[in-house]
Structure formats: C-alpha cells, structure tokens
Amino acid sequence: MLEGKNSQFYLDGEPFQILSGAIHYFRTVPEYWEDRLQKLKSLGLNTVETYVPWNLHEPRKGTFHFTGIADIEQFMKLADQLGLYVIVRPSPYICAEWEMGGLPSWLLQDKDIIVRSSDPVYLYHVESYYRELLPKFLPYLYQNGGPIIAMQIENEYGAYGNDHSYLSFLKAQYKKYGLDTFLFTSDGPDFIRQGSLPDITTTLNFGSKVDQAFQELESFKPGSPKMVAEYWIGWFDYWTGRHHTRDAWDAASVFKEMMDKKISVNFYMFHGGTNFGFMNGANHYDVYYPTITSYDYDSLLTENGEITEKYKAVKEVLNEYRTTPDDYVSDIKSRSYGSVSLKESTSLFNVLDQISDRSEYLTPLSMEEIGQSYGYTLYKTQVHRSGELTMSTENIHDRAFIYINGNFQMTVYKNDWENQVTLSFPNDRNVLEILVENMGRANYGEHLTDRKGITKNLWIGEQYFFNWEMYAIEMDRLPHDYALEKEERYPKFFRGTFDAEGRQDTFIQSEGFTKGNIFINGFNLGRFWNTAGPQQRIYVPGPLLKEKGNELVVLELEGTSAAGVQLLDQPSWSTIEV
C-alpha cells in the first residue's frame, strides 16, 4: 500500500514519487479513453487521477448511471491494463468547473439544505449515493490487485467551510465500505488549516511558488509527504473572456523545480476534454462567469487529444531524471467535412409539446422546484393591465428573453448592472412569456446553491400576477416535426444532414449564428456563443459520427441569417475579451 512518512511517499515499503496526470473520464468519449491514457503513459507518468461527479452518476434522486461515458470501472480497468496507478477523487463536491461542482441540482429542491456540511438532510443524500458508489472501488484497490493507490476525502474544503464533522463523516464512509487505502485532502496553501483532518495527509494545489507553498505545509504538518494534487499548468475559460494560455517552458520549469525536490505531482490538467451538454459550471465573484464548452485548459493534450509543445517540454524535463517511453503514435485524426446546409427550421414555440414538460402553479417556480436540472424554462402568465410597467429582474437566473403577446421585447442577464426594466403592455389583457436559460450553476464559492429559472414571483407594476404555466425544456428531446409554420420567432431549431467518411474528429464553425446549442445525432455537444467568445468552434469527437446520414441540429436563441455551418479540422479562438 501507499504510505506517507518522513516527508515522502512509500509504495510497498520503497520510496515512490507519484507522477500523475488528470484525465476526467466524463469529459472524453469512452472510445478515446485508451488513447489519452496511452499518451499519459508515454510521457513517463505512472498514475492517472480523476474526479467522480455525483450529478453524472445520480442525475435523478435514486436513479444511478454507470454506463457509457459514466463507466468509471471501465476507465480504471483500462488504466490498470496499461500499468498505470489510479488516484480517485470521489468527494460529493469536485469543483472542476463542472456544473454545481458535481453536486446534483435536485438537492436544491429542499430550500433549507446546507450542502458541504454535517446537515443531516445533506448527509442522508451523500450516504445513499455512497452506498451505490463506494463499493465499486473495493476490487480496484491496490492491495486487492487493482490500480487505486489513493483517494480524496473532500475537495478544497478549506476554501468553503470549516465543518470538520462533515470531513470526519466522509472519512467514516470510506471505512464503512472497506476502502482501506491512502486518504488525503487538497487545498490551496492559504486554506489547508481549515480543510484538513489531523490524521489525514494534506496535499496542495497551486501553479507556482513551490517553496512558499511547502513552507506553509511544513509549518502546519511537519514531515508530511509532499505532493501537489493539482499543479495548474493552464487555466479554464469563460464566456466574454480570453483564451488562457501558459508558456510551455514556464510550466516545465516549475515542474523541474519539483522534480529536483522529489515532490510528487499531479498535472491539472493532463487532458481537459469537453463540457458536453449543459455540464459547464460557472464562477461567481464580482459578477457571474459561466465556463465555456471547451475544457481545453491549455493542458498537455489539446481538447481533441493532440500532443502540445507543453507536453514535449515536460517530457524533456522528465528525461533528465529517468528514461521515458517512446511517444505513442495515435491513429486519431481531425478532418474537414465541408459545408452542412440547414434547410429545415422551426420555432421552439411550435414544438413545445415535443420537447418540454408542462406544469402550473400560482407563482413561477425555480427549475429545481419543477424537477428540471438543465436547459431552458419557459414561463407564461397573463397581465391584466395596459401601459408601461416596471419589473425587477433580480430573481431571473441566468439569461432570459421576454415576450409580450408573442412579440420579443428584450434580453435580460444576470450580469446586467441595472435590474429594473420597463415593459409596455398594449392591451387590457396581455400574455407575458419569459424564456430563461440556465447557463451553468456556480461550481465554487459562496454561490454554490445557485437556483435557476425564476426563483421568486415577479413584482410587475407594483403588484404580483398569479397563475403561471411553466415548460421545462431540458433538451433531452429534440423536435421531430419541422413542417410547422405557426411561429417564426426565435429561438429556432435548424436541421441538416451530412456524411462523414472515416468518422474522424471535426470542429463546427457556426459563423453567422449567435448563441445556442449544437446536437449531432441527438447528442448535445454543448453551447456556443459566437458574439462572446473566446471559443469559436465546437469539437465533435469522431465516435459520435456515422459514415452516412448524420443529423446536425442547431438551436439558435437570438437570430441568424446563416444558411448552414462548416465542419473544419482545427479549433479556433478569439483573442479579444468582450
């Protein structure tokens, strides 16, 4: 087993330096797991690390999912077959710029729940989830002949709270299910005192200032084994921001410093991957920063798995200390498939019966209250007054399109400096519709319980209006009828087909479209927002394609004059912040 003593790690009694890379199985299609792991091994690393997102594995309370992209056991088997060790971080919360930090949104149906604490209601849900999850790891522990050498208790908890009873509960869960393995916590150097347990190894997360960070650890836990659980070699991107990059040799030089000191390292990220569907998170500090679809992270492999100059620089450093394997030659290629004409279209309002679930209540309910996790919610009521009425948008999360009597009025956004708008109602009886987009729940910090939709009844013209219809549009169903012409207003679905000889990776350039989602053969690739950037093309993994007759659907929220999209062989980034 792995042990930590005398400032270093030991495996089976011998000194051992963990050289690890982060690969999130849930951000890469399963057909590419082996390719990414082979490239990790050929770099010269001995371990792969992954988070485990609760909301992927229990998307509905009591409904568990461990197949396809959620098949963590198959991911671990592949790592084991390649001779790699595995570090698993299955805490209820993972951050990871992932939707709600991995916590399932259905937790927020209880308005009084206190997440990431010893609140009995929260612990009940954690325990029922762990009853399904934790026994899956037992056969894969190192002492049972498997690859798992270490597991994390909670993730960067010191940057959130100080409820050590909660951390002790999680530790006890591991013991309950026989997971007798090396346990650790991880935090930034400034938060290790709040996020650690006395008898559990503390690891650090940082991107530079090695000596300063480990001086802090040594003063807190003298003689502790030294490991960087997250060595940040890049950074994530958010809409309206720039594409973050870090110089390859800057990242490699800090790694060399750690190699000189025999510090164990986990590269975050070795391979970032993609926030498919609606699984991007958001950070909410001074304003709300929703994460983009790509999780490229400027890591050692690109979003589509190509070796980077940073990878080569790190391998050059490693070659100074040990002999590294030959480079892995991958047969995965990217290809341009040309133009795809999108000849069919229909308004979202035409197909509500095909793509949504309808409910009614006296007041508008949040997404969570109507059992919706992601996507869009359409709210509809009648306003029995005419004239110009003011309305607060403070309780609309995150971005919404407002219509009166079927006519678009305005877009409002969580980041608007002004949260009062004036609406003009022309008739004595008017239909008010508000289509709200959940752009990603906060994954870090004080706004973690980030309820979406309309979270409180709207005060319009100094009164409330009651009796609301709500349409939950999770985009788990797409329209099957494009012949309807009743409505022409946006949002609209556009559909076309194309062939993909060789089923190779490609990138969708949707220039001329504004904002929305793109689907390939029913699979939600993620969001695009071309006027915000920095991401300008959406990655399509080859295994999602068919040789003939691929269906491509674009949900355009705002408006477009484009007649189609381009399938190209490279990603593209804008360089200017919006």
Q: What is the pLDDT of residue 459?
A: 97
pLDDT digits (tens, 9 = 90+) for 8-61: 999 999 999 999 999 999 999 999 999 999 999 999 999 999 999 999 999 999
The catalytically annotated residue of 97, 216, 230, 303 is 230
Domain boundaries, the chain: 2-318, 338-346+479-568, 352-473
CATH of 338-346+479-568, one of 3.30.390.50, 3.90.1150.10, 3.20.20.70, 2.60.120.260: 2.60.120.260
Per-residue pLDDT, 578: 62
User: Considering only CA atoms, which of 334, 333, 340 is closest in space to residue 518?
Assistant: 340
Q: Find the mean pLDDT for residues 540-549.
A: 98
Q: What is the pLDDT of residues 353-387, one digit of tens each?
A: 999 999 999 999 999 999 999 999 999 999 999 99
At residue 337 the predicted structure's pLDDT band, cuts being 50, 70 and 90, is very high
Ordered DSSP codes for 77-109: HHHHHTT-EEEEE--S---TTBGGGG--GGGGG
Please indicate whether the domains covering 2-318 and 338-346+479-568 agree at the CATH topology level.
Answer: no
Here the tokens at position 92 are: 């209820």
Structure tokens at 461: 């013209």
- What does pLDDT average to over the chain? 97
Helix ranges (H only) for 26-163 are 33-43, 54-57, 72-81, 120-133
Averaged over 181-201, what is the pLDDT? 97
Given this model, what pLDDT does residue 91 score? 86
Instruction: For residues 114-121, give the mean pLDDT.
Output: 98
For residues 543 and 503, the answer to whether their CB atoms sit within 8 Å is yes
CB 188 within 8 A of CB 216: no
Q: What is the pLDDT of residue 484?
A: 81
Superfamily of domain 352-473: Galactose-binding domain-like (2.60.120.260)
What tokens appear for 452 in the block?
Answer: 């979406």
* Position 576 pLDDT exceeds 80: no
Active site (annotated) includes residue 132: no
Q: How many Cβ atoms are within 10 Å of 193's Cβ, its own excluded?
A: 14
The span from the first CA to the last CA of the chain, in angstroms, equals 51
Where does 2-318 sit in CATH, by number? 3.20.20.80
> How crowded is residue 134: how many other Cβ atoms within 10 Å of its Cβ?
18
Q: What is the pTM of this model?
A: 0.97
Full DSSP string of 368-433: GGGT--SSEEEEEEEE---EEEEEE-TTEESEEEEEETTEEEEEEETT-S--EEEEEE-SSSEEEE
Does the pLDDT value for residue 501 go beyond 80?
Answer: yes
Segment 448-473 shows an average pLDDT of: 97
Q: What does the pLDDT average to over 97-125?
A: 98
Residues 6+ apart with CB under 8 A from 139: 145, 146
Q: What is the pLDDT of residues 250-278, one digit of tens each?
A: 999 999 999 999 999 999 999 999 999 99
Please say if 156 is a catalytic residue: yes
319: left (phi over 0), alpha (psi -120 to 50) or beta: alpha
β pairing state of 407-413 and 399-404: antiparallel
Q: Report the side by side order of strands in the sheet with 550-556.
A: 344-347, 492-498, 550-556, 515-520, 523-529
Kindly name the residue from 58, 99, 154, 156 that is annotated as catalytic. 156
pLDDT score of 217: 97
Closest CA to 524 of 349, 376, 347, 357: 376
Average pLDDT, integer, range 120-130: 98
